[in-house]
Amino acid sequence: MRIIDGNAIAESIIEELANEVGQLSDTKPVVAFIRVGDDPASVSYVRKKQKIADRIGIESRLYVFPSNVCKEELFAQIDELNKDNEVNGILIQAPLPEHIDETETFNRVSHNKDVDGFHTLNIGKLCQEDESGFVACTPAGIVELIKRSEIETQGKHIVVLGRSQIVGKPAALLMVRKALPGNATVTLCHSRTQNLASITCQADVLIAAIGRPNFVTADMVKEGVCVIDVGINRVKDVSRKSGYKLVGDVDFNAVESKASQITPVPGGVGPMTVAMLMHNTLRAFKATKIRSFILMLLLSLRPN
């Protein structure tokens, strides 16, 4: 059994990005974070994202709103960031308070700055296998983990557990597309799936993103399975200063002996999400440069 070291793989990506950003001559990429409320997990995720951005040489700007912010105020901030030519990427940390519709909010972000890949247009491009769009960071991180760990996917049965917009659905789309890693036979399971274990037991690769601590047990997987655990669940642990520990959606101790490869929690998919956000931000920056260059060229060719 091999443990897939997400920290090490993310670190290589971060180094590659830092090298590339270091070679940029004039301006640097800028990413804006919007956080609504003080959910401790969101505070910690955004802080982590800012820290990594800083290491790469990407400037980050943070906008914090109280959890009772009205939609109009939040959208005015998004509109301003959409118009700001210095800002290349915008990320609105989920979850948002109940009174704010997440899909509407994500769609308010210009699709060119949607480094989260949550805009309807980018999701549509993913469905059409059009690689010009942004792919959501966690599913993109899963693909990169699979690629860099040389896990075979072509013709294999990949079972995705969880149908969220952020992870499950895009992960299933990525694994079924013709490009590699992908070209797999994909089954997308969820909380209402009947005879779940009979399906997960067929998986060559199991992607668990159901958001329930230790949900996948040893009897739910076959010998030799490759397990990608997307879950980051806080469970009570009085022995720790924080009062909690992080566990995945997979019962790691029970499943690891049956698996050929498995991601740990923490240190598996989590760091990859942040690395891919930075990758998307650099892509957004480069695309902006190309668009401005084309615009300048067109203006210079305009007859007086």
Which residues sit at the interface with ligand GUN, rule CB under 6 A?
91-94, 116, 137-138, 166, 273
Sign of CA dihedral 92, 95, 96, 100: positive
| 3-class DSSP assignment, residue 121 | helix
DSSP for 19-44, written as a single string:
HHHHT--S---EEEEEEES--HHHHH
Cβ–Cβ under 8 Å, residues 145 and 7: no
What does residue 107 show for φ and ψ, rounded to 5 degrees? -75, -15
C-beta nearest to ligand GUN: residue: 94
Comparison of 149 and 164: residue with beta carbon closer to ligand GUN: 164
Q: Which residue has the tokens 């601590």?
A: 213
Q: Cβ 290 to ligand GUN, closest distance in Å?
A: 25
Nearer residue to ligand GUN within complex by CB, 32 or 221: 32
* Nearer to ligand GUN among residue 93 and residue 288 (C-beta): 93
What lies within 8 Å, CB to CB, of 291 at 6+ separation is 112
Cα separation values, 84 from 6, 30, 31, 77, 147, Å: 34, 10, 11, 11, 35
Give least dist CB 46 to ligand GUN, A. 9
Please give the positions annotated as active site. Answer: 49, 93, 116
Return the number of the residue (114 or 204) whose C-beta is nearest ligand GUN: 114
CB of 276 to ligand GUN, least distance (A): 9
Q: Strand 30-36 relative to strand 59-65: parallel, antiparallel, unpaired?
A: parallel
Angle between the N-to-C axes of helices 6-22 and 137-148, in degrees from 0 to 180, rounded to the nearest 10: 100
Write down the least CB distance from residue 43 to ligand GUN, Å.
Answer: 12
Please say which residue, 106 or 203, places its beta carbon nearer to ligand GUN: 106
The minimum distance between CB 166 and ligand GUN, in angstroms, equals: 6
Dihedrals phi, psi of 118, to nearest 5 degrees? -100, -10
Separation in Å, CA 215 to CA 206, 233, 251, 252, 262: 13, 11, 7, 10, 15
